[in-house]
Amino acid sequence: MKYNIYSQLKNFYKLHKKYLSSNKLEIDLYKLKKLIEKELLHKKKILLFKYLENKSLVNSNLLENINNQLLKLIFPINAIMLFFINGEINKKLSNIYNKYYEIDINTHKIKNHNNILKKDIYNYLSESLTKRYVSININNKKNIYLKKPLYIVYFNNINKENKISMFNYRNFFYIKNTFSTIIEHYINTDKPYINNIYNTFIIQNNSKLEHYTFTNNNINKNNNFCSISNEFILYNNVFYKKYDIFMSNQYINQNNYFKFLGEKTKLIYKSLLFSKNSNIININNLIEHSIKNTSSVQLHKAITLNKSIINLIGLLKINRDAIKTHGQLNYSSLLLDKLSKINIQPGLDILNDDVKCTHSVFTGKINYDQIFFLRTRGISFKKSYNILLISYILDFLNEINNSIIKKKILKKIFYYLSIENFFNEF
């Protein structure tokens, strides 16, 4: 296994050399190589290596003639669209030139930015092997008071038998003194591939942002890998609401790092995770309060079935100068069979006394006493079970402001969990 993965990635470097445009990228590539050697030497259980075992990694090329297929899968909403297809932003389909957002596409690394994430193999892959750096400026433009949402779609459709394609993206978002909505949509297919995204969100003073991230399957079988790394820098008087809904790929690995650098800033972060068919989801969240008078509220819900696993790690860190901080870290999970697992590790690292912080963890299963109660009211067992399952997630779905997206996501959840749509009967 060691030689197989190392040889494949070595060949992969050569295929991407034409995209290298600076000494810094050459250095990143060298660091990536050393990191891979170290990880393989210590036999660490990295999902990426597990996914690549006994498979071949190939360079990715942009495929044409997929417009009709893609347009059937996106949300039918009025928005500014960006399409990332097979490893590159698609300029033909995307609304790059518009009156709402400034979108720059570069081959060089963004200047004057220091990463706050502790880099891992996924970050080095993104920064070393991405074909284009994408910078999106969301400013309060004159005479524009109501912005269209920014709808970002990731779609891969490589079809090479017994081969795995890798797609790497590096994106920067600058939000300044405005209210905006960002929708990220990862559309999974039945093709084997690695989707690796590294995003930086710099949310400057007096900004409000609603941010939705969806991954969903339109097929019963999926055998792809998705890694999402996000770093968020929050300045003064920011109100940021983040919502994630993941319906699992074969493997999902997500790392989120939120750093508070301004006062009177509030974060609300909620997630809803589904995993089945022996799939694995790893989610790591770190929230660091560095400034006084800030607030963060987290609620993460997870559902597993069919021998799947969800691993949730969360750390709420409050530094010495972050007085008057309010932090909540809450996990709730539902096991739908005896062979699935949910591992939750919440953590608090508090370095001063003038704070208010809480954390909670709940893990359980469907309550059959409640099913019995519903059955005494003339409701079938299957429908009673479905009612309790949907009631567990319905409060989260009500947080989605766009009614079209809400209905589409609910329909996809019904399909994913094999639940009939019974709402019209009540």
Per-residue pLDDT of 205-216, as tens digits, reads: 999 999 999 998
Cα of first residue to Cα of last residue in the chain, in angstroms, is: 55
Please report where in the chains the tokens 């055998």 appear, as a residue: 223
What pLDDT is attached to residue 356?
A: 93
pLDDT at 291 over 90: yes
Closest among 178, 200, 199 to 101, alpha carbons compared: 178
With residue 213 as reference, give the H or E element that holds it. Answer: strand 208-217
**3-class SS of residue 412:** helix
Residues in the chain: 426
pLDDT at 155 over 80: yes
What pLDDT is attached to residue 35?
A: 66
Residue 309: partners with Cβ closer than 8 Å, 6 or more residues away: 275, 279, 280, 281, 340, 341, 342, 343
Closest among 383, 360, 364 to 304, alpha carbons compared: 364
Ordered DSSP codes for 95-152 = --S-SS-EEEEESSPPSS----S---HHHHHHHHH-S-EEEEEEE--TT--SPPPEEE
For residues 212 and 210, give the distance between their C-alpha atoms in angstroms, rounded to a whole number.
7
For the chain, give the mean pLDDT: 82
Q: How many CB atoms lie within 10 A of CB 354?
A: 10
Q: Report yes or no: 93 and 161 within 8 Å, Cβ to Cβ.
A: no
What pLDDT is attached to residue 214?
A: 94
- Mean pLDDT computed over 18-30: 57
pLDDT band at 367 (very low <50, low <70, confident <90, very high): confident
What pLDDT is attached to residue 150?
A: 93
- Mean pLDDT computed over 268-285: 94
Specify the DSSP class assigned to residue 338.
Answer: T
pLDDT at 51 over 80: no
pLDDT at 10 over 60: no
Highest mean pLDDT pick, 38-42, 54-58, 381-385? 381-385
Please state which of the ranges 49-53, 59-63, 241-245 shows the lowest mean pLDDT: 59-63
The predicted-structure confidence for 165-187, as pLDDT tens digits, reads as follows 888 999 999 998 788 899 999 98
Specify the DSSP class assigned to residue 423.
Answer: G
What pLDDT is attached to residue 402?
A: 87
What pLDDT is attached to residue 49?
A: 60
For residues 265 and 281, give the distance between their C-alpha atoms in angstroms, rounded to a whole number.
30
For residues 338 and 305, give the distance between their C-alpha atoms in angstroms, rounded to a whole number.
8
What pLDDT is attached to residue 343?
A: 96
pLDDT at 17 over 80: no
Name the residue ranges covered by the structural domains of the chain.
2-262, 374-426
Ordered DSSP codes for 391-410 = HHHHHHHTT---HHHHHHHH
What pLDDT is attached to residue 139?
A: 76
pLDDT at 62 over 50: no
Percentage of the chain modeled with pLDDT above 70:
75
What pLDDT is attached to residue 314?
A: 96
- Mean pLDDT computed over 323-333: 95
The predicted-structure confidence for 101-110, as pLDDT tens digits, reads as follows 888 887 555 6
What pLDDT is attached to residue 50?
A: 64
What pLDDT is attached to residue 151?
A: 94
Sign of the torsion angle spanned by Cα atoms 87, 89, 94, 100: positive
Percentage of the chain modeled with pLDDT above 90:
41
pLDDT at 422 over 60: no
The predicted-structure confidence for 116-132, as pLDDT tens digits, reads as follows 667 788 888 888 788 78
R_g (Cα) of the chain, nearest Å: 22
Residue 85: partners with Cβ closer than 8 Å, 6 or more residues away: 62, 63, 66, 70, 93, 155, 156, 157
For residues 80 and 96, give the distance between their C-alpha atoms in angstroms, rounded to a whole number.
8
For residues 12 and 302, give the distance between their C-alpha atoms in angstroms, rounded to a whole number.
35
Ordered DSSP codes for 16-78 = HGGG--SHHHHHHHHHHHHHHHHHHHTT---HHHHHHTT-EEE------S-HHHHHTTS----
Q: What φ, ψ does residue 410 adopt, rounded to 5°? A: -60, -40
What pLDDT is attached to residue 64?
A: 47
Q: Write the burial class of residue 132 (CB in 10 Å: 0-12 exposed, 13-18 middle, 19+ buried).
A: middle
Distance, CA of 400 to chain centre: 16
Specify the DSSP class assigned to residue 398.
Answer: T
Closest among 5, 11, 1, 126 to 59, alpha carbons compared: 11
Specify the DSSP class assigned to residue 378.
Answer: T
